[in-house]
Amino acid sequence: AARIFSGMQPTSDSLHLGNHLGALTQWVALQDDHDAIYCVVDLHALTVAPDPAVLRDRTRRTAAQYLAAGVDPQRSILFVQSHVSAHAELAWLLNCITGFGEAGRMTQFKDKSLKLGAEGTTVGLFTYPVLMAADILLYDTDLVPVGEDQRQHLELTRDLAQRLNSRFGAGTVVVPDAHIVKATAKIFDLQEPTAKMSKSAASPNGLIELLDDPKVVARRIRSAVTDTEREIRYDPVAKPGVSNLLTIYSALTDRSLPSLEAEYDGRGYGDLKKDLAEVVVAFLTPFQERVHGYLDDPATLDAVLSDGAERAEALAQDTLARLYDRFGLLRRV
């Protein structure tokens, strides 16, 4: 079966609806007929200098949300990035074949470093996408399910994979493909529906966090920005706010956009928002119960992660040894 790899950063207490619909939903669906590996990328989270105790807590919380969403550790490997040292080790090799200009062209780096200034920007933030490439290449990954904002990082990963293959011989590593599901690849901010939903949003009212109080979530949906027309139809250019609500509605209910448009034909935005608020709360309530179940039993959660790390490590060590060899590092006897 094709190998899947993906990860999320534990940079917030809660994942948001964009993470869920853009990535996590795909992860759960893909594990049925793929060989899937899902990672909590805590080393990546160090690029924002988190408080140590907070990072540790968020790492468990992120894993608990993967499980609550349906990642099944019997079928898939679920682990924490820093538990497998090969990630940091392969990242060094890849740093040595990545151009400085090439890394400097990453738009996420440019945006973030612009905000932080030269002194606030770390070298870790600069090489962040190289560590991501290491995550992916370590497992001979075929497909990487992510949202639209990761497309450029996946292109860099492919370029590095092709470079390894041309330098050290065809088949040195697998060249991965991005798996980006168009309908939900970019969920937008409820208050600013032309910007992606993100934890660093300008206003918290634009964000739906999976662990938010359902009452707050319902209020945020009811006050989502729409437009001055009345018609409920999917048209992301002319009607970004309404289209985003329809996207979320469709993804959470598995109903098609045309069937939603037909149902709301002649009805007002208030009706749509009220119904969508109910749909989202009906999803979040049992989800939150499951998350709290996992968090109430950290020993069991840690055991799941430990088992995952063991399985991931065996695969990763194999690839790392192969690459150390190709790069010409002397084998230890």
Yes or no: say if 323 and 93 are a contact pair by the CB < 8 Å rule.
yes
Position 176: which residue type?
P
User: CA dist 88 to 79, 195, 210, 320, Å?
Assistant: 15, 32, 30, 11
Q: Is 274 a catalytic residue?
A: no
Tally the C-alpha atoms within 13 A of residue 282's C-alpha that lie toward its C-beta.
9
Yes or no: say if 242 and 188 are a contact pair by the CB < 8 Å rule.
no
Pick between residue 9 and residue 14 the one whose CB is nearest to ligand TYM: 9
Q: Does 217 engage in binding with ligand TYM (CB under 6 A)?
A: no
Which among 112, 186, 239, 273 is annotated as catalytic?
A: 112
Distance CA(291)–CA(287), nearest Å, equals 6
Q: Is 110 a catalytic residue?
A: no
Region 6-25 residues binding ligand TYM, contact defined as CB under 6 A: 6-9, 18-19, 22-23
Of residues 160, 178, 197, 246, which one binds ligand TYM by CB under 6 A? 197
Size of the site for ligand TYM (CB under 6 A): 26
Q: Is 215 a catalytic residue?
A: no
Pick between residue 226 and residue 247 the one whose CB is nearest to ligand TYM: 247
Shortest CA distance to 142 belongs to which of 28, 307, 30?
Answer: 30
Q: Is 227 left (phi over 0), alpha (psi -120 to 50) or beta?
A: beta
The least CB distance from residue 39 to ligand TYM, in Å, is: 7
Q: Does 136 engage in binding with ligand TYM (CB under 6 A)?
A: yes
Of residues 36, 40, 41, 251, which one binds ligand TYM by CB under 6 A? 41
Pick between residue 38 and residue 264 the one whose CB is nearest to ligand TYM: 38
Q: Does 240 engage in binding with ligand TYM (CB under 6 A)?
A: no
User: CA dist 187 to 83, 183, 193, Å?
Assistant: 31, 9, 9
Q: Does 179 engage in binding with ligand TYM (CB under 6 A)?
A: no
> Can you name the residues that pair with 5 across neighbouring β-strands?
37
Q: Where in the sequence numbering do the catalytic residues fall?
A: 112, 196, 199
Interface positions with ligand TYM (CB under 6 A) = 5-9, 18-19, 22-23, 41, 44, 132, 135-136, 144, 146-147, 149-150, 153, 185-187, 196-198
